[in-house]
Structure 1
Amino acid sequence: MIRQTGTLLILGLTSLGIAPSLQAQDTGNAINRDSLRLVFEEKFDRPPDYYDPVENPDGRWKTNFAFGVQDPGSSLAWETRTLRPNHELQYYGDPAHDGSSYDWEKGSLTLVAQRNPLPSDTKGGSLPYMSGLITTEKSFAMRYGYFEARIAMPTGKGLWPAFWLLPPFRPGQSVQPQQEIDVVENIGARDEIHATVHTDEGGKKVPNGEKIAVSDVTRPHDYGVMVKPDRITWYIDGKAIRQAPNRDFDQPAYMLLDLAVGGKWPGAPDDKTHFPARMKIEWVRAYAIPGSTVVRPSQ
């Protein structure tokens, strides 16, 4: 999700989005859970445990990116709450101060994108929209395994909901990690999603993605990805939809879910885009497989 440039896009072949790369033997195969061991689960059955560097350093969910100035008192702290290289238009709110970006009810957390009520506020980078992002950067990461979330996404031009994986961002790095897996992304269409892996080729981030047909993204679906040393397999509602070789995604990965607005890929919202836009997350899970390494245990 940092992000799609020059991606190969192939329309899925069935209503479930069965990609050509799986036709030979894997089309529609169900995920085999026999060897899976649940190591992370968030059911949102109680208020989210938000990370704060001072007030709650053991919190599960961080709400800004790992790269950039992390000190909330810095004049540049807003840069950790958007993706400037993508020209995105949203500021990801801090739940302690911008709680309207996060709507919790028992059994779900909804990320809410809306027009910024204070667009001239430099604390939010003077960006025109506010939205929500959650990551397990401080609480959980895993090398290899199955990552899954149940999500209902909004549609409309300029909306960019996503569930993705990133390797750790080490202090002192001058650039964002080049490796990335987008479990699911949507850029406003009701009946399609994108499933992508990004690899590092000589310091350049190169995407390998497919556009997949899916029945109505505004209804909840289970979106998952199995990461193994030799291959990556994407799933919708427990059925395999595409597969790609794993070339270099071999570090522990943490999970991110966000609702971006605008950017180079989806473009800006238009007068038909409905706000507030809502991305509902019912649960997030991660399962270890033989050979997995959990480096931040589940809370």
Structure 2
Amino acid sequence: MRRLTRGVLAGVIAAAAAASLAVTATASAESPSEDREPKLAWSDEFEGAAGTAPDASKWTHEVNGDGGGNGELQYYTDSTDNAALDGEGNLVITARKENPADYQCHYGRCEYTSARLNTAKTFTQKYGHFEARIKVPRGTGMWPAFWMLGSNFGSTPWPDCGEIDILENIGSEPSTVHGSLHGPGYSGGNPITGSFSLPDGQAFADDFHTFAVDWTPEYIAWSVDGKEYQRKTPADAGGNAWPFDQPFFLILNVAVGGAWPGPPGDDTQFPQSMVVDYVRVEA
């Protein structure tokens, strides 16, 4: 699998991180135990009226057209046209094919808009259970993701800050999702990674699925619908640094195009949406 960095954040987040991120809610589960009762540390159930923006006390919009460091084709906006509640308990992140004159991308006038939200200024946590119930978009060139970056991103550039990809899907692989780690010596097109595929040609865009990681000092384990499909330990870093011993923040986004998924195909219909039922973090 070939891909470039997902970890290049917009200037607003880099500036916040560089200023040590005045985080208003930080939790730490130093060593989660499988035999103790988990404790909900943070969540968003996305309750609210249809058409309203995501809760600004929990999520920050990234606004830019820099391509995420991957040659992506979208401009990330803070418009409710691209990220809004649906009134039924879901967040909907929508990628649209449009090219307004004031949306300039790294390659020129943008052809697509979408949204990317993060909790860098509002919530970080070290260790625990991180879970979201999501229905992904459909079509070649679509690249939805639920992931995390180290909260020291501003002072420690990617990939040394660490990246945990809980869910990535590319539209040309409708039955498969990927979970990965990026760090020093294993990043971009060479992450520590694994994948999970649905049986019988089912597509992840057909229904909601639950994507999670369980993160402890000893390992990080990925699951889909409660079924663990890979577990990685510091030994998997092959002697390289393991930056997964600090707080991380959450990110939700839908990218369009880029080096890994390639551009949208003629079969890709717009708009395309990622629907998020909830995001929950346990300590």
Tell me the TM-score normalised to structure 1 length: 0.72
> Deviation of residue 263 (structure 1)?
0.3
User: Does the 8 A contact of 2:159 with 2:187 survive in 1?
Assistant: no
Matching residue of 2:193: 209
In structure 1, give the amino acid aligned to 2:225: D
- SS of 2:81's equivalent in the other structure is helix
Out of 110, 127, 149, the residue aligned to residue 166 of structure 1 is 149
Moved over 6 A (4+): 202-205
Q: Is the Cα contact below 8 Å between 1:166 and 1:177 reproduced in 2?
A: no
Are the counterparts in 2 of residues 50 and 63 from structure 1 also a CA contact under 8 Å? no
**For 1:2 and 1:225, how far apart are their aligned partners in 2?**
22
The AA in structure 2 aligned to 1:276 is: P
1:88 correspondence with 2:72: yes
Compared with structure 1, are the counterparts of its residues 124 and 204 closer, same or farther at alpha carbon in structure 2 (3 Å cutoff)? closer
Distance 1:233 1:133 in 2: 25
Classify the secondary structure of the residue corresponding to 1:257: strand
Match for 1:108 among 81, 87, 90?
90
Unaligned segments of structure 2, at least 5 residues: 7-32, 235-241
Amino acid at match of 1:216: A
Identity of aligned residues (%): 32
Residue 205 (structure 1) shift: 8.6
**Aligned partners of 1:62, 1:249: CA distance in 2, in Å?**
23
Distance 1:197 1:61, change over 3 A: same
Matched with 2:251 is 256
Distance in 1 of aligned mates of 2:148 and 2:197: 22
The range that moved more, 103-112 or 156-165, is 103-112
Q: Distance in 2 between matches of 1:279 and 1:78?
A: 19
2: distance between equivalents of 1:172 and 1:166? 13
5+ residue gaps, structure 1, are: 5-30, 52-58, 65-76, 289-299
The CA distance in 2 between the partners of 1:253 and 1:2, in whole Å, is 20
SS in 2 for 1:248: coil
Contact 2:93 2:115 in 1 (8 A): yes
**How many pairs are equivalent?**
236
Q: 2:64 aligns with which of 78, 91, 95?
A: 78
Taking the aligned partners of 1:245 and 1:128, their CA distance within structure 2 comes to 41
Deviations 1:56-115 (A, max 9, x none): xxx211111xxxxxxxxxxxx735x641x2000011111xxx221013123001100011
Question: What is the TM-score with the length of structure 2 in the denominator?
Answer: 0.76
Q: Which residue does 1:227 correspond to in 2? A: 215
Q: Is the 8 A contact 1:226 1:234 kept in 2?
A: yes
**Aligned-residue offset at 1:49:** 4.5
Cα drift, residue 243 of structure 1: 0.7
Quick one: distance in 2 between partners of 1:267 and 1:232? 29
Instruction: State the one-letter code of the partner of 1:261.
Output: V
RMSD of equivalent CA atoms:
2.5
CA deviation after TM superposition for structure 1 residue 204, in Å: 8.5
Change (3 A) 1:168 1:270: same
